[in-house]
Amino acid sequence: MKNMVVLISGRGSNMQALVEAGLPVKGVISNRADAAGLEYASGRGIATAIVSHRDYAAREAFDAALALAIDGFQPDLVALAGFMRILTAGFVQRYQDRLLNIHPSLLPAFPGLDTHARALAAGVKLHGCTVHFVTPELDHGPIVVQAAVPVLAHDDETVLAARVLAQEHRIYPQAARWFLDGKLVIDNGVVRVNGDHPQQLYAP
């Protein structure tokens, strides 16, 4: 049976969405012992592990420990879900083409942090989220699926973030399922889904 591991740093609502969609989440790994998502995972009988970045002086050493924890599960897919550490190129290469991330913007717009505040400040009228394969460059990499939501006149960061998050919880399970079903093809940096499934969602 195929399976996946999810990496979190905090709340873990995307991880929860993956579990509740029935995906085979075998392990949840956090770099923070106080990540709220860990409690949810153990409550569901899912194995958890903590690899604290504070225990390692160098990024390479942290990534090596993380890889050891991941490989213990022998996952087909590794999903970053609010995992707030920058990964080394070596780590990313080790999991090349089986490492997904969810990012709260319509990439390539607004890579990095504070995406909702930046979207509001830029005055964009559409915002959203992206599931993409991870490459060494932060928040780049082949796009699997995107969901777009409107930015409304009186939105603040909290309201906009919640609107986007609801869509994250829809597209991440979809992307993970496509991956585990062997439906994703990366062709020259462009992802296609075998069977012609729509790779975009509009949530007015």
* Least gap, CB of 138 to ligand GRF (angstroms): 11
**Residue 81 contacts ligand GRF per CB under 6 A:** yes
**Residue 11 contacts ligand GRF per CB under 6 A:** yes
Q: Which residue is nearest to ligand GRF (CB)?
A: 82
Q: Give the containing element (helix H, strand E) for 96.
A: none
Task: Determine the Cα–Cα distance for residues 149 and 105; give it in Å rounded to an integer.
Answer: 10
What are the residues whose beta carbons fall under 8 Å from the beta carbon of 95, sequence distance 6 or more? 70, 78, 134
Stretch binding ligand GRF (CB under 6 A), from 12-20, 56-64, 92-100, 174-182: 12-20
Give the HSE-up count for residue 56: Cα atoms under 13 Å, Cβ half-sphere.
Answer: 16
Judged by CB, which is closer to ligand GRF: 64, or 124? Answer: 124
**Residue 148 contacts ligand GRF per CB under 6 A:** no
Judged by CB, which is closer to ligand GRF: 15, or 180? Answer: 15
**Residue 82 contacts ligand GRF per CB under 6 A:** yes
Judged by CB, which is closer to ligand GRF: 104, or 141? Answer: 104
Q: Give the containing element (helix H, strand E) for 2.
A: none
Tokens for 9? Answer: 């740093």
Report helix, strand and coil shares of the chain as percent, to nearest 5: 35, 25, 40
Task: Determine the Cα–Cα distance for residues 54 and 51; give it in Å rounded to an integer.
Answer: 9
The footprint of ligand GRF on residues 94-113 (CB under 6 A) is 102-104
Catalytic residues: 103
Three-class SS of residue 176? helix
Residue from 5, 6, 12, 149 that binds ligand GRF (CB under 6 A)? Answer: 12
Tokens for 200? Answer: 């975009």
Judged by CB, which is closer to ligand GRF: 1, or 92? Answer: 92
Judged by CB, which is closer to ligand GRF: 61, or 162? Answer: 162
Tokens for 110? Answer: 């607004």
**Residue 10 contacts ligand GRF per CB under 6 A:** yes
Number of Cβ within 10 Å of residue 24's Cβ equals: 16
* Least gap, CB of 18 to ligand GRF (angstroms): 9
Residues that bind ligand GRF (CB under 6 A): 8, 10-14, 81-82, 102-104, 165, 168
